[in-house]
A = this chain, B = another copy of it.
Amino acid sequence: MPSFSATTGGDAGGPSPAPAPARGRSVGPVVAQRVQFDRPLPLACGRVLTHYELAYETYGTLDAERSNAVLVCHALNASHHVAGHYAGDPENVGWWDNMVGPGKPLDTDRFFVVGVNNLGSCFGSTGPLTVDPATGKPWGADFPLVTVEDWVDAQARLADHLGIERFAAVMGGSLGGMQALCWAIRYPQRIGNALVIAAAPNLSAQNIAFNEVARQAILTDPDFHGGHFEAAGTKPRRGLRVARMIGHITYLSDEQMEEKFGRELREGLKFSFAPEFQIESYLRYQGEKFAEYYDANTYLRITKALDYFDPAQATGGDLKQALAPARCRFLVVAFTTDWRFSPARSREIVQALVDNDREVAYAEIVAPHGHDAFLLDDPQYLAVVSAYFERIAEQRGGR
């Protein structure tokens, strides 16, 4: 029977599903930090955030030249808590702890790593749960719809605050990879390398369709109250459950789901709507858990940011032209069984970079885990990322 206590992934969130990696150590206890910005941030939607806070964490030490900083961008439901654990809460391990730490692929003995929570999230940065200073009440449904470009602009201001003129690398998986790609286009002088993992140049119609069904589940939940559910003293748990169940199916490969669950029953057929197959229990459990800790207004906004991301929109669909401003080196990684953002989508990015004569390494990892593979301990994958950072370290040494 599959174990539900050691939860598998989801999209860049929750506890690490795989055992602790053999190599490297934990960064140990970490402390989340916050910074308030009073310079207004114009958003793509036309609105302006006059004040906002970003929650972030850092691991490792910024060198004297301020040249070893790496920004890690998160995906749908993760946060600034990338590695290590909070003091007194050893179970609360960062979502990419297998990737980031002393001796790990992103080695905090060499690099100064920054994890940041994005605007609109529900984990610390300004978002729907935050009190709007203009009204004295939580933003809730009135929080603007934010885009990948908005996030990257805010991250650039965090870099300013930290005294980082240029990142050695910006890195992310899934939606995080889209942020790395956006950095390369939007701030070409401020990024030395982009690691774009399990991402796509934009969402397909099918990707948008899955997001839209998830949103409809939330928007039509009577407990959603047009997004003002806090004021109504309730929470759209039903919608969040269904949304997460849909999402979760797309994070796992068909093959992996078959291998883990197949048609295995819990206790034989009951001829009822109680969970009968293991896969039903598993999905319900994932849905329940998510509905407890996640904010519905955030979910709606993050799926919209995904739908909107499309750097080639401004160039009439020409991705080569869209990526022309990029100056950095690239590592693009895709996973063979990822059907959410298939290798073919990563290859579109690679082709557009090659057409621009950019330096790009591409790894297509044979892995059974689907989209969630980017969070897991695939040795080949971790070796590729490790080698790439090794090269970055050498480049820095050689400058």
Contact = CB atoms under 8 A, between A and B. Distances in A.
Interface of A: 44-46, 144-145, 202-206, 208-210, 212-213, 215-217, 219-222, 238, 241-242, 245-246, 249, 252, 254, 257-258, 260-263, 269, 271-273, 275-277, 279-280, 283-284, 287, 300, 304, 307-308, 310, 313
Interface centre among A202, A273, A276, A284 (most CB of B within 10 A): A273
Nearest to A271: B45
A212 B242 contact: no
Nearest to A284: B216
B206 A220 contact: no
B213 A249 contact: yes
B263 A206 contact: no
A212 B279 contact: yes
A221 B246 CA distance: 16
B280 A212 contact: yes
A46 B246 contact: no
8 contacts: A203-B263, A205-B262, A205-B277, A206-B258, A209-B279, A209-B283, A216-B241, A220-B238
Nearest to A313: B263
Given A202-B263, A242-B220, A249 B210 contact: yes
A208 B241 contact: no
Contacts of A258: 204-206
A206 B254 contact: yes
A257 B213 contact: no
Contacts of A217: 217, 242
Given A202-B263, A213-B283, A216-B287, A277 B208 contact: yes
